[in-house]
Amino acid sequence: MLVDSHCHLDYLERDGQDLDAVVERARDAGVETLVTISTKLSGFPQVLAIAERYDNVYCTVGVHPHEAEAEPDVTSEQLVELAQHEKVIGIGETGLDYFYEHSPRELQQRSFLAHIEAARQTQLPLIVHTRDADDDTVSMLQAEYQKGAFPGVIHCFSSTQELAEKSVEIGFMISLSGIVTFKKAEEIRDTVRALPVESLIVETDSPYLAPIPHRGKKNEPAFVAHTANCVAELKGMDPENFARASSENFYRLFGKARATL
């Protein structure tokens, strides 16, 4: 059985998708657990309501770097309090995005630090979004880790092998999306080949980044199976064995989800 460690079911619902059907298709594809991700505190109640609706759906709490200017006052105390709910199993997504820069870098960094502190206090995984910001992402994670350990994952990995390796060094996992199946993603596939299986999990980031053979269509959790099969091939593993390994990695990282099984 597989896990979609990062999807946006609230976006799918916003776009008119029947979530009952989406969750059922995921089950039919062997995807047993879904994590729907918070991108802003103002939208968190809807994200939590979706997680409460399904026994196999969990959620996170956080503010995406794109939203750091719109929601600049997020504090670690707020995040810690909201994370007490049994369905909240992670902090984020958070991080740095210097590609779009929808929010000023200073505000992104301030928000990132608040999320890191919340992850440190709760020991729930930090879900990190990073794009064109490798140096600052690594330096901030390393500096903060020295102040006290916290678990985490680099979500939707699409960066350099150096970022992946330095993240793994502090115990982070690397989450792979449909990007790994894209024709022009050979550098990412090379990085995946070099990483230990114990550090890999999979996601869709749906409704975005549908993997081949669904590229160009609206992504959904069921499609994580295609990403997992691609990664299994890269690692020279039987698909069932990789599915088992990646799911075990997920539950090791997201221990709060395991506790409710």
Could you give phi then psi for residue 165, rounded to 5 degrees? Answer: -65, -40
Q: Is 238 annotated as a binding residue?
A: no
Phi and psi at 158, nearest 5°, equal -150, 30
- Please give the backbone phi and psi of residue 105, each rounded to the nearest 5 degrees, phi first: -60, -40
CA dihedral (54, 244, 37, 187) in degrees, to 10, reads -150
Distance of CA 211 to the CA centre of its chain: 16
Could you count the other beta carbons within 10 Å of the beta carbon of residue 69? 15
Strand partners, 129: 95
Which region holds residue 40: left if phi is over 0, alpha if psi is between -120 and 50, else beta?
beta
CA distance 153 to 164: 10
DSSP state of 260: T
The annotation status of 115 as a binding-site residue, yes or no, is: no
In angstroms, the CA 130 to CA 34 distance is 22
User: To which residue do tokens 């199946």 refer?
Assistant: 181
Q: Is 136 annotated as a binding residue?
A: no
28 in a known ligand binding site: no
126-131, strands of its sheet edge to edge: 2-7, 31-36, 57-61, 88-97, 126-131, 152-154, 173-176, 200-202
Can you tell me the distance from the alpha carbon of 205 to that of 178, in angstroms, rounded to the nearest whole number? 8
187 is in an annotated binding site: no
Which residues make up each annotated binding site? Answer: 6, 8, 93, 129, 155, 205
Which residues make up each annotated binding site for a divalent metal cation? Answer: 6, 8, 93, 129, 155, 205
